[in-house]
A = this chain, B = another copy of it.
């Protein structure tokens, strides 16, 4: 088993009010780089700080790292369009960040990214990949792709109040600039990513397609962005069984019917509850308040911990240790 995280950035993330991945837009540029360093080294190395939302919710990378410390799995980071440097070793599958989805072609190299990642996925020796992501603003580009594909399920948010109207508005503008109607790109996944997506979606759908073709089992670790990857795979004709592993926090998000979405793209949904409500610590309280919810493969990591028989209490204790080591003592 190998845990893969595809990390990237887009201009779309700079649109005000759509993401909580980082305290402010300038820091958000560094969020995926910081997430990958946290995952690989347990702390930021060249990135300026540990990503926290404006209200203090720590990045889900902290949770994934905590689980990694308990289980010891290998990590592979894909550079799917990072804007800031990272000290985490990466395999580059995209050569630049994604543009804004209100332009005609935010990801001109979508097909190339997909093909590079697919080639890697076919070649990796692992019998199983668990694939997560770190890309600020990623639910908006996911919504853009779903709309272009004609898959009418919604997307979640890292904010407690999902700014879904803002996202829909941005997507409408993006479709209009690209001269597209809803569902216009059904069965054309590369074109959907090219015009409405982000480099992570191209990378993860490629890696998954390649790994599946090579006989590996793939778990997509995340929420509505990973359901969008599944939709891309289905629209590309991939018929193999697919699992999306996510968190209870996302399943509790009232703005999206996760089960219905999973059914729509014929995906097995696995939801893990880490029991954060049983820990009185700021590192977990914000998740219970509906923030953060998912990212950096958090749901997949929690499922791996469960499968290995690690009690959720041990996971929570390790999250607190990590939090206090890299952020400072909590409330």
Give A contacts to B, CB under 8 Å: 41-43, 45-46, 72, 76-77, 86-91, 119-120, 123-125
Contact = CB atoms under 8 A, between A and B. Distances in A.
A124 B87 contact: yes
A76 B86 CA distance: 13
Which of the listed residues A72, A89, A120, A125 has the most CB atoms from chain B within 10 Å of its own CB?
A89
A123 B48 CA distance: 11
Nearest to A90: B89
17 contacts: A41-B124, A42-B125, A43-B125, A45-B123, A45-B124, A46-B119, A46-B123, A77-B89, A87-B91, A87-B120, A87-B123, A87-B124, A88-B89, A88-B91, A89-B90, A89-B91, A90-B91
Contacts of A91: 86-90
A250 B89 CA distance: 30
Nearest to A124: B45
A90 B40 CA distance: 12
B89 A45 contact: no
Nearest to A79: B89
A114 to B, nearest CB: 16
B41 A125 contact: yes
Nearest 6 interchain pairs by C-beta: A89-B89, A45-B123, A89-B91, A89-B90, A41-B125, A43-B125
Contact of A120 (B42, B46, B77, B120): B46
Contacts of A90: 89-91
A125 B69 CA distance: 15
Contact of A72 (B42, B72, B124, B125): B72
